[in-house]
Chains A and B, each alone.
Chain A
Amino acid sequence: MNLLLIVLALQNPESLSVRFAGMTAITGYEQAMTDSLLTLLPGSSRDRTGNVTLTLGRGAPKRLVYCALDEIGYVVGNITDDGYLLLRRVGGGARLYALFDQQLEGQRVTLFGRRGAVPGVVAVRSTHLTRGRPTRDEPPFTVDNAYVDVGASSRDEVLALGISILTPVSLTKRPHRYGDRGGLLAAPNAGRRAACAALASAALSRPRVRGTVVVAFTVQSLYADTAGLKTVLNLQGPFAENRQVSVPSKFPDTAVETVGLRDVDALMADVVKWIGGSQ
């Protein structure tokens, strides 16, 4: 297989879905993922808010097709004297899944520090020391109970790892394929990432374009004023038509949100048609 075929294989919707699902883009802190998109999509650019856009074709009509790439996550809110990190959730608000924070408890997390990714875990009471507890009546674990242990014994050891206040933190991403011939993909935010993968694959497929199509990967869709999409509309609009792409998913907002990879292929084909002017 020559290099071109390898590159194309890595950019098909299935492999891009797995790759994107392994990335972390906490709302407002999406830079690592947008760096990857800029590399992946020749000719793309990033605006001041952080959206990545790529313009295809020219002339009228001018249309927009976009996916939201950000996710609800956490940043370091405080560091204790004995080297534990406390967290602040970013994004979510009133519509947050009631067990969202509980998914952190007793699990691996990754901290995206200034010196690179740092592994950690979220503390949980030892089973042996909780005999008789917890009970079914106990309320869910929340971010207020989350102590992140990176193996440090002091605040200075934490700082030496490149971790500070506002360092992004997420569940460690390990996209997991299952089902017949691995046709299902489970990961946090799998639906969003699969939609972005289909959009990126469509843009990379050198589609026929009717008029001008702005392909946008938007940031901050999950925070307060949805500044990402509004920025694209105000900087690059007006558009004759807007389309947000999406892939159906099961178990949304969980760590095993699941998409069918066939649906991603179908979305890509549909987006290619849409770019060419077909409905």
Chain B
Amino acid sequence: MILALAAILAIQDSSRISEAQTVLSQLVESYGVSGMEAPVRATVQQLLPSWVRTETDTAGNLWVRTGGGQGDGGGGGGPVVIVAHMDEIGFRVDTINADGTLGLRNRGGFILSLFEAKPALIHTDRGDIPGIFLPRDTGLTRRIPPPLRVSVGATSRSGAESLGVKVGQTITMPKQYVRLAGTRATGRSFDDRMGCAALILALRRLDRTKLRHPVIFIFSVREEIGLEGAEAAAHQLGTSTRRVHAIDTFVSADSPLELPNFAVARIGAGAVARALDNSSITPPAYVDSLAQIARARGVALQIGTTNGGNDGSTFTQFGVVDVAMGWPLRYSHSPAEVVDLKDLLSLADLVRAVAEDW
């Protein structure tokens, strides 16, 4: 009997892992450098359950309103906001040089050498233009290169323009979701497509009759360049917001290259309360409440402190408490980020729990 139960649970887990992977892989393989999130927004809309009605605000954030006032059993009062960002790090075409190469501006923070001498994609409305991030030509043998340039194979400005290149377009490198051993996976831009996936998976299972407050799920824009999308949403909602949950990466020191003095949340061991980062501090009583909710639902939760900012911090100026939550990520902002799908499931369960129970 116990064995049969274990087998049933394993099958359920397996189908949930499979669903999580289907959602996550589509999000990860969509491109959306800060300010150009439209492809990711479209993917999110395709993956949301059919009952959801979305709104896109003037900043580009995608809103999903549930609960009070929605006619589905929720109570009234100010909303709980749950926010994950759609954008990813990359570059913007800043100049088209006379020799046909492209001068770049970083969008977000990352280690430049990881893009040097790698394939490039220039994203346009009419599809991607392939190119390469040029290797340095200075003979400099230190780790970090001079500012990067991209070649699309043209030898003049007009040649590059004739291929469709324009100033303002965004650039990344090709990316692919790839499953690793066990329940782990690698790709680029898990930050914060894991957060988006957690919101989508939570919405798919949300019991709207249980909501005690209005709950607004926001898929935000331009987080990587200064939390700009969330800032616009925070100003729109002002002091009415009951509580905010930023759902974003917990950058983990679970790696042989990191110092173990903080941020050591093991990948595969569940979601993480991002209780202290560079942008906000969750009051200890709220961390305790979150831990209690996780325990009551049997959801794996780690508690920790890491670096980086989160969208929820833009709400704190209005007296709103930011209870940020995430999942452990290895090798952040690199082309080889690593996650564990079990952590995505626990995060989705936790998002659902804070919406329904808190």
Contacts and interface: CB of A to CB of B under 8 A. Distances in A.
Interface in B160-197: 163, 174, 176, 178-182, 184-186
A129 B180 contact: no
A145 interface: yes
A84 B178 CA distance: 18
A179 B162 CA distance: 11
Interface stretch (A61-69, A120-128, A197-205, A221-229): A120-128
A107 B336 contact: yes
A207 interface: no
A179 B174 CA distance: 16
Given A136-B142, A136-B144, A258-B132, A106 B181 contact: no
B118 interface: yes
A219 B329 CA distance: 41
Given A105-B113, A108-B336, A138-B142, A147 B257 contact: yes
Given A98-B141, A102-B113, A251-B117, A178 B131 contact: yes
Given A124-B257, A128-B307, A149-B338, A186 B114 contact: no
A147 to B, nearest CB: 5
A59 interface: no
A157 B252 contact: no
Contacts of B134: 251, 256
A39 interface: no
B95 interface: no
A255 B119 CA distance: 8
Interface residues of A, number: 57
A43 interface: no
A254 interface: yes
Interface in A88-133: 98-99, 102-103, 105-108, 118-131
A125 B252 CA distance: 10
A140 B142 contact: yes
A151 B181 CA distance: 5
Contacts of B91: none
B144 A127 contact: no
Interface residues of B, number: 59
Interface in B84-137: 109-111, 113-114, 117-119, 129-136
Interface string B330-341: 111111101000
A119 B335 CA distance: 14
B132 A150 contact: no
Contacts of B151: 178
B130 to A, nearest CB: 4
B114 A256 contact: no
A108 B181 contact: no
A128 B308 contact: yes
A180 B253 CA distance: 44
Given A106-B111, A108-B186, A127-B109, A151 B257 contact: no
B251 interface: yes
A140 B307 CA distance: 25
Interface string A133-161: 01111111100010101111100010001
B348 interface: no
B142 A137 contact: yes
A123 B119 contact: no
A131 B258 CA distance: 12
A153 B114 CA distance: 25
A246 B154 CA distance: 24
Contacts of B256: 80, 82, 84, 123, 147
Given A98-B141, A134-B144, A254 B135 contact: yes
B77 interface: no
Nearest to B174: A174
Q: Which of A80, A125, A258 has the most CB of B within 10 A?
A: A125
A186 B143 contact: no
A28 B176 CA distance: 30
B132 A107 contact: no
B143 A138 contact: yes
B144 A138 contact: yes
B143 A140 contact: yes
A256 B133 contact: yes
Contact of B114 (A80, A107, A120): A107
A149 B330 contact: yes
A150 B132 CA distance: 27
Contacts of B118: 107, 255-256
B82 interface: no
B334 A127 contact: yes
Nearest to A130: B111
B152 A178 contact: yes
Nearest to A187: B119
Contacts of B334: 106, 124, 126-127
Q: Which 9 A-B pairs have the closest CB atoms?
A: A179-B153, A151-B180, A151-B184, A121-B336, A151-B181, A106-B334, A127-B333, A178-B130, A126-B332
22 contacts: A99-B117, A102-B113, A108-B186, A119-B179, A123-B336, A124-B111, A126-B251, A126-B252, A126-B253, A126-B331, A126-B333, A129-B259, A138-B142, A147-B256, A149-B330, A151-B181, A152-B181, A157-B181, A178-B151, A179-B153, A182-B130, A186-B132
Given A126-B334, A139-B141, 20 more contacts: A99-B136, A99-B141, A106-B331, A119-B178, A121-B186, A124-B111, A125-B111, A126-B258, A126-B332, A128-B306, A128-B308, A128-B332, A129-B258, A139-B142, A150-B180, A153-B268, A178-B131, A251-B117, A254-B135, A256-B118
